[in-house]
Amino acid sequence: MKFQFLKNYLLLEAAAAVMVLGYYGIESPFTLSKISDQAVVTSQFESIQNDFKPIFDGKTLNGWEGDPTYWSVKGGAIVGIITPETLLNANTFLIWTGGEVADFELKGEFRISESGNSGINYRSDRVAEVPFALRGYQADIDGKNTYTGQNYEERKRATLAYRGQQTRITSQPDDIPNLRDFVERNAWNGLNLEKELGDRAELGSKIKKEDWNTVHLIVKGNVMQHYVNGILMSEVHDEDSKNRMKSGLLGVQVHVGPPMKVEYRGLMLKEI
């Protein structure tokens, strides 16, 4: 009881600090879009105590690079929007300019429209011929919750683990130099199922549609874990020494397709 009282007191103190700092135009590590977002402040407060650092200030896109046609900040969140007038010919990303990241944890929240298709890319590199495009691992996110939680490698090996799978990834044979020739039905042929983490549909039911969900990525060595709302959705052990990436860029995506909206807030990073 005393601990809970202390926690609530500290939460109120943090909220007050945000408002005071904001009044004087000083950036705060906390993001408050409205009082009902109390859980966001609590999560960020606890994350900062555990050596996480904010990579989004909640007000601007400072530290990020992308096409302003699609990316903005509203209500304390990064917003990616496609309208009928701005349909894409290629997926586009908002890319964090803080440098390449190897082993890390990333925490945050996302909300996506039913027609939306997005994701968080990591250990990725730029596609030289396409502005603001990334190639690499992705924590997949979509509005229909068909793919959310899976590991999809953008512009490379495609699906590395479906939601509910722990997989071991192996290389293509030496007589197949073009890795895309080892992709079938949008999945890597070197995907080896090691363990079922749960039923795909049942796990999907734990993801709230058109509402805020938490995301937590743990990436260390060749192991990549994707958590949504505290539940492990997929885990990849990448033993493909020909194609795997050990470090790279972070970014968030809007995908080719119909008009959509995706939002991200409370993005916190810890390098490990």
Domain spans in the chain, listed from the N-terminal domain onward: 54-271
Tokens for 227? 């958590």
The pair phi, psi for residue 219, each rounded to 5°, is: -125, 115
* CA 19/CA 151 separation, integer angstroms: 38
pLDDT tens for the chain, 272 residues: list them. Answer: 444 444 444 444 454 444 334 433 434 444 444 434 555 555 555 656 589 999 999 999 999 999 999 999 999 999 999 999 999 999 999 999 999 999 999 999 999 999 999 999 999 999 999 999 999 999 999 999 999 999 999 999 999 999 999 999 999 999 999 999 999 999 999 999 999 999 999 999 999 999 999 999 999 999 999 999 999 999 999 999 999 999 999 999 999 999 999 999 999 999 99
Per-residue pLDDT at 17: 46
b/e 31-52 (16+ beta carbons within 10 angstroms → b): bbeeeebeebbbbbbebbeeeb
Per-residue pLDDT at 19: 39
* CA 56/CA 71 separation, integer angstroms: 13
> What are the DSSP E strand ranges found in 131-190?
134-142, 151-154, 158-161, 165-169, 183-184, 187-188
Return the CATH number of 54-271, one of 1.10.1240.10, 3.40.50.300, 2.60.120.560, 1.10.274.10.
2.60.120.560
Per-residue pLDDT at 129: 94
Tokens for 130? 């396409």
Per-residue pLDDT at 16: 42
* CA 265/CA 57 separation, integer angstroms: 9
Contact present, 95 and 254 (Cβ < 8 Å)? no
* CA 261/CA 74 separation, integer angstroms: 12
